[in-house]
């Protein structure tokens, strides 16, 4: 591991990284923990907030990594997960407010799968920062 890279990262990337790590851990816990409880609801709001922070900070991370990934105005395909998050968070909240537990659970699982697992896996592609930290 090369943790020296962390000291050289801009603040927005550090914010994005640590918010994503917190959301990954908390989201995994939430998926396994009992549903409908007061702690689940409180931690759910925290998780949604973290996911919006991850998505919001991602908007400002452009043209940073020297990968061959195609970009459009500095945005790469991984930025599509920002859209997923900005759509899925309100969908999940609206669904549970309407009592539609099934739709809420589906939106949350999709957001965790896409926004955490799939997007997170892309950060470990060769040439990207997480790859350099762990394998570089």
Dump pLDDT digits (tens) for 58-78. 999 876 555 556 666 667 778
Tokens of 6: 């962390």
Predicted model pTM:
0.89
> Once rounded to an integer, what is the mean pLDDT over residues 33-61?
96
Percent of the chain with pLDDT over 90: 73
With the C-alpha atoms ordered 45, 102, 115, 7, is the resulting torsion angle positive or negative? positive
- The answer to whether 123 and 115 are in contact (CB under 8 A) is no
User: What is the SS3 assignment for 64?
Assistant: coil
Tokens of 54: 């991850």
């Amino acid at each position: 591991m090369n943790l020296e890279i962390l000291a050289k990262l801009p603040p927005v990337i550090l914010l994005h990284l640590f918010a994503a790590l917190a959301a990954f851990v908390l989201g995994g816990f939430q998926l396994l923990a009992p549903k409908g409880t007061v702690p689940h609801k409180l931690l759910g709001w925290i998780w949604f907030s973290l996911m919006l922070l991850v998505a919001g900070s991602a908007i400002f991370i452009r043209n940073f990594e020297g990968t061959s990934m195609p970009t459009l105005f500095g945005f790469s395909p991984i930025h599509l997960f920002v859209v997923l998050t900005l759509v899925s968070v309100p969908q999940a909240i609206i669904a549970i407010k309407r009592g539609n537990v099934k739709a809420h659970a589906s939106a949350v699982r999709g957001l965790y799968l896409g926004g955490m697992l799939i997007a997170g896996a892309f950060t470990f592609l060769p040439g990207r920062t997480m790859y350099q930290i762990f394998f570089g």
